[in-house]
Amino acid sequence: MHFKYVVVGAGLAGLTIAERIASEKGEKVLVVEKRGHIGGNVYDSYNDDGILIHNYGPHIFHTNDREVYKYLSRFTKWNDFWHRVLTMVDGNPIPMPITLETINKLYHCSMTPDEMKQFIAERAVPIEEIKTSRDVALSKVGEEIYQKFFESYTKKQWGIDPAEIDTSVISRIPLRFNRDTRYFTDKYQGMPRYGYTKMCESMADSDKIKLLLNTDFEEIRDDITYDTLIYTGPADEYFHYKHGKLKYRSVGFVFETHDCESYQDAPVVNYPNDYDYTRITEFKKMTWQENKKTTILKEFPGEGDEPYYPFPTPDCKAQFALYQEEMKKEKNVYFLGRLAEYRYYNMDAAVRRALDLYEEKLR
């Protein structure tokens, strides 16, 4: 069977491309999805107690990209939401990321912004060449704060020392010399009013988009032909693991529903030094839901086979570079998104990449 356009993967990147092809070009497009639902990892659903949960971990939309925000606003209204995170350190809930509030609560003091700058500067470790996530943290905040907030948490997440991980992991966490305890400071922040799944369904609501769920692309690969393929699945799988399997960090999810209206003081609480899980999310605090009960999610790193986070080490990057060379040989095939490009994307960046690919290559 022949199709002009085929998109592999119904996550945000794949749906954005499919929507553009259908609505802008007026062309039909086949979307092949291995899972039984669309939305990829932003998929959400109501549990047995009527609470909307994020099935693959918390997703908070934030961006400074007005075009991306306006694009997604075609498919959803937004509830205002400014994400706040607490980190349990020495038995106390401390605001995260590192701000003036963090330092004052951690050290039981009342510094001014200028005093905090001096305090941090005195503790920062001078490092001539920043090569790893450990270097980033030490050069920014010094040894003690690094150990309390970053070292154990990163080891727990990735299973290796931050000194073995490139700068990208800890560089994403800001350092602020003010009292702004919001996790993100982007201009546009919020949660889709009716959930991510509803937003994704609106993106795919076209008679020109044919969804093929519960279908592994590899199983139908020899049965279909196409003019153009947009592939958002794992790069190594596409090339039949020619250069070996790429390494990913996976996550195990344990949901619990409690017979109380509130479980914790923030939507997300990190546990860098205690317990086997890395964090607990309480969904009602993100989604404006009213319910006599509340559902939480504990995340256990490294459990399960699902590929979530590309491994940020030099060896893994070098291995992926071999696949990039293979990609260059493919004709009329575009590799898009977190799995295909073997890099971490926030939601807005995934949509931006898809919009750019459409404008540059498909329009």
Asked whether 30 and 316 are in contact (CB, 8 A), the reply is no
Q: Indicate whether 59 pLDDT > 90.
A: yes
63 within some domain: no
Average pLDDT of the segment spanning 249-278: 96
Contacts of 64 (CB under 8 A, 6+ apart): 186, 187, 188
Give yes or no: residues 236 and 321 share one domain.
yes
Q: Residue 18: how many CA atoms within 13 Å on its side-chain side?
A: 33
Asked whether 203 and 75 are in contact (CB, 8 A), the reply is yes
Give yes or no: residues 27 and 110 share one domain.
no
Give yes or no: residues 118 and 236 share one domain.
no
Total tally of structural domains belonging to the chain: 2
Asked whether 62 and 39 are in contact (CB, 8 A), the reply is no
Give yes or no: residues 242 and 322 share one domain.
yes
Give yes or no: residues 126 and 12 share one domain.
no
Other residues' Cβ atoms within 10 Å of the Cβ of residue 116: 22
263 within some domain: no
276 within some domain: no
Q: Band the pLDDT of 306: cuts 50, 70, 90.
A: confident
25 within some domain: yes
Which amino acid type is present at position 341? E
7 within some domain: yes
Give yes or no: residues 240 and 323 share one domain.
yes
Give yes or no: residues 215 and 323 share one domain.
yes
Percentage above 70 pLDDT, the chain: 99
282 within some domain: no
Give yes or no: residues 231 and 355 share one domain.
yes
Give yes or no: residues 235 and 351 share one domain.
yes
Distance, in Å, from the CA atom of 238 to the CA atom of 349, rounded to the nearest integer, reads 23
Q: Which residues does residue 311 pair with via DSSP β-bridges, in sequence order?
A: none
CATH, residue 352 = 3.40.50.720
Asked whether 62 and 239 are in contact (CB, 8 A), the reply is no
- Give the pLDDT confidence score for residue 305 in this predicted structure: 77
Give yes or no: residues 235 and 353 share one domain.
yes
**Cα 179–Cα 180–Cα 185 angle in degrees, nearest 5:** 160
- Give the pLDDT confidence score for residue 279 in this predicted structure: 97
Average pLDDT of the segment spanning 288-304: 91
Range of the domain at 350: 2-38+204-247+310-362
- What pTM, to 2 d.p., does this model score? 0.94
Which has more confidence, 249 or 74? 74
Give yes or no: residues 227 and 142 share one domain.
no
67 within some domain: no
Distance, in Å, from the CA atom of 58 to the CA atom of 18, rounded to the nearest integer, reads 25
Average pLDDT of the segment spanning 121-146: 93
289 within some domain: no
